[in-house]
């Protein structure tokens, strides 16, 4: 069903019926609620509307370069009061994965920002130094805005030695409102693959459905009671599909209608912004 501000794979009656069952909205951040350091004007009214409708929400991001505390401070600066429980980043997903699947890995060579590394230290891991004598138990590669050539080469060395290799997220670039291209984790991993002929053993973050399992446990929800909202089909919406959640694409970030037209599977709902989603959720409660 096509409208001026949204389109859906459902007709209007089916869409409203489907939205009636949504109890939680999982929100991507960059490109969805803000761009760079600019909060969208409709974000605060949208969050207030969710609260008034009795719908809980959380902030999910594939960007692990910032610690939870730093994210909360950034949101507070924009006027959004959020709690640690409302935040889930790929750094936390990676920590959860390593503790569950590589329980003996305590010492990590981390290609990531100091802010992200602090989350790993808090979780009990020890970062190793850029030295061939300081052998880690595993390698973690992330969106590293502090990347140096030397640390990239060291990561390649340990990957070539066959150590467990975990990537935090698959994103090629990070959205920005600045005149630059922010090269993200997926692109750094491609560089390492070219140098070592090795891909990560696992790439966490969206579209991996594990990103939603923490939210389901935290709020006692089924996947079909969650709307996953973001500005990318290949991460945000694909994760919704993978997890069995309701996938909402917003056109406020990276994705254009041309990209949607070429997508092999269309999002459940494509909307101009979260403001439109808020209006539809309100309609479903009338």
- Quickly state the pLDDT bin for 184 (edges 50, 70, 90): very high
Q: Is residue 24 part of a domain?
A: yes
Same domain, 158 and 58: no
- Whole-number pLDDT of residue 34: 93
- Whole-number pLDDT of residue 213: 80
pLDDT digits (tens, 9 = 90+) for 147-182: 999 999 999 999 999 999 999 998 899 877 789 999
- Whole-number pLDDT of residue 217: 79
- Whole-number pLDDT of residue 216: 87
Looking up residue 20, the CATH number of its domain turns out to be 3.40.50.1000
Q: What is the mean pLDDT of residues 133-152?
A: 98
pLDDT digits (tens, 9 = 90+) for 236-271: 999 999 999 999 999 999 899 999 999 999 999 999
Q: What is the mean pLDDT of residues 78-106?
A: 92
pLDDT digits (tens, 9 = 90+) for 191-204: 999 999 999 999 99
Helix H, strand E, coil C: the string for 228-250 is: EEECCHHHHHHHHHHHCCEEEEE
Q: What is the mean pLDDT of residues 136-141?
A: 98
Domain count for the chain, please give it.
2
Same domain, 194 and 106: yes
Tell me: pLDDT of 100 over 90.
no
Tell me: pLDDT of 188 over 80.
yes
Q: Is residue 152 part of a domain?
A: yes
Same domain, 195 and 216: no
Helix axes 274-284, 12-20, angle to 10 degrees: 80
- Whole-number pLDDT of residue 63: 87
Q: Is residue 80 part of a domain?
A: no
Residue-averaged pLDDT of the chain: 94
Q: Is residue 97 part of a domain?
A: yes
Same domain, 151 and 115: yes
Q: Is residue 73 part of a domain?
A: no
Same domain, 190 and 142: yes
Q: What is the mean pLDDT of residues 65-91?
A: 92
Tell me: pLDDT of 91 over 80.
yes
pTM: predicted TM-score of the whole model, two decimal places: 0.79
Q: Is residue 25 part of a domain?
A: yes
pLDDT digits (tens, 9 = 90+) for 270-283: 999 999 999 999 99
Same domain, 210 and 198: no
Structural domain containing residue 182: 91-203
Q: Evaluate whether 95 touches 141 at the Cβ level (below 8 Å).
A: no
SS3 (DSSP) at 209? coil
Q: Is residue 274 part of a domain?
A: no
Beta bridge partners of 183: 173
Tell me: pLDDT of 30 over 90.
no
Same domain, 105 and 149: yes
- Whole-number pLDDT of residue 1: 72
pLDDT digits (tens, 9 = 90+) for 53-76: 999 999 998 889 988 998 999 999
- Whole-number pLDDT of residue 128: 98
Using alpha carbons only, give the angle 123, 172, 75 rounded to the nearest 5 degrees: 55
Q: Is residue 261 part of a domain?
A: yes
Indicate the burial class of 46 (C-beta count within 10 angstroms; 0-12, 13-18, 19 or more): buried
- Whole-number pLDDT of residue 125: 98
- Whole-number pLDDT of residue 148: 98
Same domain, 111 and 196: yes
């Amino acid at each position: 069903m096509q409208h001026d501000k949204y389109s859906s794979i459902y007709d209007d009656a089916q869409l409203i019926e489907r939205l009636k069952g949504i109890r939680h909205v999982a929100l991507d951040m960059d490109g969805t609620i803000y761009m760079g350091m600019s909060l969208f004007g409709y974000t605060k009214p949208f969050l207030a509307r969710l609260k008034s409708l009795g719908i809980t929400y959380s902030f999910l991001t594939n960007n692990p370069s910032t610690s939870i505390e730093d994210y909360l401070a950034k949101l507070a600066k924009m006027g959004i009061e959020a709690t640690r429980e409302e935040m889930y980043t790929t750094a936390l997903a990676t920590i959860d994965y390593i503790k569950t699947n590589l329980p003996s890995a305590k010492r990590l060579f981390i290609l990531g920002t100091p802010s992200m590394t602090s989350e790993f230290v808090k979780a009990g891991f020890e970062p190793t130094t850029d030295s061939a004598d300081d052998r880690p138990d595993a390698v973690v590669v992330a969106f590293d805005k502090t990347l140096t050539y030397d640390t990239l080469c060291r990561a390649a060395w340990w990957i070539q030695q066959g150590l467990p290799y975990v990537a935090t997220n698959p994103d090629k670039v990070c959205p920005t409102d600045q005149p630059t291209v922010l090269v993200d984790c997926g692109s750094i991993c491609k560089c390492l693959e070219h140098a070592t002929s090795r891909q990560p053993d696992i790439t966490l973050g969206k579209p991996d459905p594990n990103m939603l399992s923490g939210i389901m446990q935290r709020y006692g929800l089924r996947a079909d009671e969650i709307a996953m909202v973001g500005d990318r089909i290949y991460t945000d919406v694909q994760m919704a599909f993978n997890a069995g959640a309701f996938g909402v694409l917003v056109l406020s970030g990276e994705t254009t209608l041309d990209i949607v037209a070429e997508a092999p599977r269309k999002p459940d709902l494509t909307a101009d912004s979260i403001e439109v989603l808020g209006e539809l959720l309100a309609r479903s409660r009338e």
